[in-house]
Structure 1
Amino acid sequence: MRVTQGCFSFLPDLSDEQIKLQVGYAMSKGWAVSVEWTDDPHPRNSYWELWGLPLFDVKDPAAVMYELAECRKVNPEGYIKINAFDASIGTESCVMSFIVQRPINEPGFYLERNEVQGRNIQYTISSYAVQARPSGDRY
C-alpha cells in the first residue's frame, strides 16, 4: 500500500532533480524549507521528526539537497518529506509538503472495528508496521 500524503503523492516518486526544482520554487517564493522523517506515517501522525533546523534564509537548493542526502544516510528505510513554510503575515503555515523517500515495502494500515457502549461502533486505523516492531526498528 502506497502512503499518499502531501503534494505529488499520487505521482511516481520524484527524482532528485525534480525535488531540487520544487525546492527552488519554494525558495523563490521566500518560503523556509525543512526536512522531516518518520517510521510511522499514520495519517494522524502530523508531527514527524525534524531533521536539523528549518533552513530559513537559505537561497541555494543545494543546501536542502545536502540535508536530504544526510537524512537518507541515517534513515535509509524510513519516510522522508520536505516541507515549505510561508512565514508571511496572513499565511504563517506549511504551504507545500511532499514525500521524497519511502521504504521499499510499505505494509499499510488496517481498519479495526470495536463495539463500544450503547451498541455504538468505533473505528480505528492502525499501522501494520507499528504492530510488528518498536519505534526506530520498523523498516
Structure 2
Amino acid sequence: MKTLPKERRYETLSYLPPLTDAQIEKQISYILKMGYIPAVEFNETSDPEVYYWTMWKLPLFKANSTREVLDEVQACRSEYPNCFVRVVGFDNVKQCQILSFIVHKPGGSSYRY
C-alpha cells in the first residue's frame, strides 16, 4: 500500500484518484436513481471556510439522464474554466444537500464526458 502524495484535499471522494468519466456518470446515475435533485455549482476556491458556492443555473429538477447533467457540467466548465466545479445532490424531502463531489479543478484534472 502506498501513501498518497501530500496535496490539498477537497470534498467527498477527494482522497481517491481523480474520477474517470465512467465513474462520474455512475455517481450522477446514483443521484438520479435515489431521487435526489442534481445541481452544478462553481467557485474560485474550495477553501473549507467557504460554505457558499454559486449555482450554475437552477437545480436540474427535471433531469432524467446523466447526459443532461454532464452537459450542464461541461457548459459550466466552458464558461468558468478557472473555477472549481462540483455536482451536488439535494434531497427534497429532508431539504438538504446529501452529497457533492468536484468534477473539475482549475489547471488540474480535465474530464472529457
Q: How many residues align?
A: 103
TM-score (norm 2): 0.83
Of the three residues 91, 96, 106, the one matched with 1:93 is 96
Q: Distance in 2 between matches of 1:57 and 1:4?
A: 32
Aligned-residue RMSD, C-alpha? 1.5
Give the counterpart of 2:89 among 81, 84, 92.
84
TM superposition shift of 1:16: 2.0
Structure 1 segments of 4+ aligned residues over 6 angstroms from their partners:
none
Q: Is the 8 A contact 1:6 1:96 kept in 2?
A: no
Question: What's the CA shift for 1:84?
Answer: 0.3
Normalising to structure 1: TM-score of the pair? 0.68
Question: Which string of whole-angstrom CA distances, capped at 9 and with x for unpartnered residues, describes residues 61-120 of structure 1?
Answer: 1100000010111122221111000112xx221111001111226xxxxxxxxxxxxxxx
Q: Which of 1 and 2 has higher RCO (CA within 8 Å, sep 6+)?
A: 2
1:6 to partner: Cα distance:
2.3
Unaligned 5+ residue runs, structure 1? 106-139
Q: Distance in 2 between matches of 1:11 and 1:59?
A: 27
